[in-house]
């Protein structure tokens, strides 16, 4: 074990969704701690992968193992969500939420987390070590507070934070617990990281309503997701598995 508990020197990491808003910060944070990072993303330069496509993932994992070695860390951050300014058909009433959207969100967020776990986790288990971090959301742990979107309904629109994102993020908790116990004796730790809203130029009315509901009184800065990921990825969390690390500004505390 390194004398710096949080060091990732010499470690290889795969970050799905690593080209996204949070993914980019997570990649930079892992690199800063010494890891070599492979980004698996539809928008990646090097490993352009659809996380719902097993064959593409197998090829990408083979390439990473050849080029960098068997990953020590896997962060699953690829996901589909509907932002506060999403188009009308995605964010209408539950009663007419499109079945195709439900299938797509479930596929990317659940199968697209399961497959990288299955393929990378198997390699890690064969090496007898590894840490997997599945990124979930307070909207997967608790129902969205639909009142936060009242400003849109006041403007005459119908707007509800959609159901599929919540359902899909919820599934990650037991995927994590299942895998954590399954691979515990093989040295692979698996944890969920639950995050709340991260500032990203959202509409002012949304940010104000969110901040008012949030004990810390503000949305997270994107850099604030790095610490929890580094903790879970590194030896600092060597006795933590099957857990849910909640970094939500206190959202779930009341
Ligand atoms: N941003 C937030 O406020 C927030 C809050 C809580 C949880 N989260 C979670 O954090 C993670 C990252 O969120 P973000 O805000 O950076 O999202 P984002 O939309 O900026 O990034 C998601 C990335 O996933 C990639 N992606 C989507 N579908 C893919 C597929 N089929 N195959 C490969 N890559 C695919 C996209 O290309 C994108 O780069 C997500 O799991 C999200 O649910 C985000």
121 closest CA partner among 184, 165, 31, 207: 184
Regarding beta strands 244-247 and 36-41, do their DSSP bridges make them parallel or antiparallel, or are they unpaired? unpaired
User: Is this prediction's pTM over 0.75?
Assistant: yes
85 has a pLDDT exceeding 90: no
Please state, as a whole number, how many other Cβ atoms lie within 10 Å of the Cβ of residue 76.
29
**pLDDT given at position 109:** 98
| Residue 118 pLDDT | 99
Whether residue 2 is predicted with pLDDT greater than 60 in this model: the reply is no
Q: Is 198 in the pocket of ligand 1 (CB under 6 A)?
A: yes
* Pocket-testing residue among 39, 74, 77, 232, ligand 1, by greatest number of atoms within 8 A of Cβ: 77
> CA 99, CA 9: separation in Å to the nearest integer?
45
For tokens 């198997």, the residue is 122
Higher confidence at residue 90 or residue 37? 37
Nearest in space to 133 (alpha carbons), one of 187, 70, 74, 51: 74
Pocket test for ligand 1, best of 78, 145, 206 (most atoms within 8 A of CB): 78
**pLDDT tens-place string over residues 155-210:** 888 889 999 999 999 999 999 999 999 999 999 999 999 999 999 999 999 999 99
Instruction: Give residue-wise pLDDT tens across range 200-245.
Output: 999 999 999 999 999 999 999 999 999 999 999 999 999 999 999 9
Q: Which residues have a Cβ under 8 Å from the Cβ of 20 and sit 6 or more positions away?
A: 41, 43, 77, 78
Own/partner long-range contacts of 39-44 (Cβ < 8 Å, ≥24 apart) = 39/15, 40/14, 40/15, 40/16, 40/78, 40/116, 41/16, 41/17, 41/78, 43/19, 44/18, 44/19
**Contacts with 178 (C-beta within 8 Å, 6 or more apart), sequence order:** none
Distances (CA, A) of 192 to 4, 95, 134, 182: 23, 30, 5, 15
- pLDDT level of residue 138 (50, 70, 90 thresholds): very high
Mean pLDDT value of segment 88-99 = 89
d(CA 189, CA 202): 35
Burial 17-52 (b: 16+ CB within 10 A, else e): bbbbebbbbbbebbeebebbbbbbbeebeebebbbb
- Take atom 31 of ligand 1 and give the residue whose Cα is closest: 50
Q: Please tell me the distance from the alpha carbon of residue 11 to that of residue 222, in angstroms, as a whole number.
A: 23
Gap from CA of 212 to ligand 1 centroid (Å) = 25
Q: What is the pLDDT of residue 253?
A: 97
On the question of pLDDT at 78 being above 80, the answer is: yes
Each residue's pLDDT tens digit, 25-70 = 999 999 999 999 999 999 999 999 999 999 999 999 999 999 999 9
């Amino acid at each position: 074990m390194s004398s710096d508990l949080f060091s990732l020197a010499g470690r290889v990491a795969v970050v799905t969704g690593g080209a996204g808003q949070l993914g980019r910060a997570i990649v930079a944070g892992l690199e800063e701690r010494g890891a070599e990072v492979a980004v698996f993303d539809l928008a990646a330069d090097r490993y352009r992968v659809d996380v719902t496509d097993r064959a593409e993932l197998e090829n990408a994992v083979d390439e990473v193992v050849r080029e960098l070695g068997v990953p020590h860390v896997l962060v699953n951050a690829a996901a589909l969500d509907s932002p506060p300014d999403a188009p009308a058909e995605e964010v209408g009433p539950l009663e007419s939420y499109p079945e195709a959207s439900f299938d797509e969100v479930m596929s990317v967020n659940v199968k697209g987390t399961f497959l990288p776990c299955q393929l990378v986790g198997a390699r890690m288990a064969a090496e007898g070590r590894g840490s997997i971090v599945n990124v979930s959301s307070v909207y997967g742990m608790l129902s969205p507070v639909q009142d936060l979107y009242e400003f849109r309904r006041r403007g005459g629109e119908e707007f509800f934070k959609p159901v599929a994102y919540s359902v899909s993020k919820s599934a990650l908790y037991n995927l994590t617990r299942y895998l954590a116990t399954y691979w515990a004796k093989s040295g692979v730790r698996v944890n969920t990281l639950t995050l709340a809203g991260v500032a990203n130029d959202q509409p002012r009315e949304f940010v104000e309503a969110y901040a008012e509901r949030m004990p810390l009184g503000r949305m997270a800065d994107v850099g604030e997701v790095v610490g929890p990921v580094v903790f879970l990825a590194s030896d600092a969390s060597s006795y933590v598995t099957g857990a849910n690390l909640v970094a939500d500004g206190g959202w779930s505390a009341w």
